[in-house]
Each structure stands twice: as C-alpha cells, then as structure tokens.
Amino acid sequence: MANQNIMCTVSSCHYWTQGNRCNADQILVTSDAMAQKQPDSIDAPRAEALQTVSANSSMETCCKTFVHKNSDKTNADGIKKQ
Ligand code: SF4
C-alpha cells in the first residue's frame, strides 16, 4: 500500500505509484547542495547522523530518495517499497 501522506508527481521514480503517491517506506528531503555532495548510500536510514542544512526556497530542496525506475542502484540506500 502506498504511503498515504507523501504525494509526488515524479513518475520516473522507482518509488512512484498510481495516484501520485510515494511508495517508499521512508524518504530524505534535503538541500540540492547536500544531495549533490553525498553518495547514493546516504539516505533516510542514516538521517539521524546527518547535519542539518538551510534552504531559502522550495527550489533549493529535493527528494534525495529519488532513484530512476530503470536504475540498477535501487538498493543502494536501504530504502524499501512499502
Ligand atoms: S522517493 Fe521521492 S521522488 Fe520518488 S516517489 Fe517518493 S517522494 Fe517522489
């Protein structure tokens, strides 16, 4: 069953599902700058150890859990489909 609280329109993501819902068991939202610096293995399961970041608008944030549905790295971060 899809996450009832996280809505997302990025249909090319491995976790996207019908109704524009996210089917990941957890996600990590962070700044674009942080996401670009960190490897795929850094994601929601390691969030408690991460430093906080600052952003000035929604355009400076992103979903780091995104992985393309055709990627061979869908297991790189420990995130599972619900
Ligand atoms: S992991 Fe992120 S980009 Fe992918 S469906 Fe969920 S919210 Fe959208």
**For 5-58, how does the pLDDT look when each residue is reduced to its tens digit (9 = 90+)?**
999 999 999 999 999 999 999 999 999 999 999 999 999 999 999 999 999 999
Q: How many angstroms separate the alpha carbon of residue 23 from the centre of ligand 1? A: 8
Q: How many angstroms separate the alpha carbon of residue 68 from the centre of ligand 1? A: 10
Q: What does pTM read for this prediction?
A: 0.94
Angle, alpha carbons 61-63-68 (nearest 5°): 135
Query: How far is Cα 25 from Cα 2, in angstroms, rounded to an integer?
Result: 9
The pocket around ligand 1, CB under 6 angstroms, is made up of 6, 8, 10, 13, 15-16, 22, 24, 27, 63, 65-66
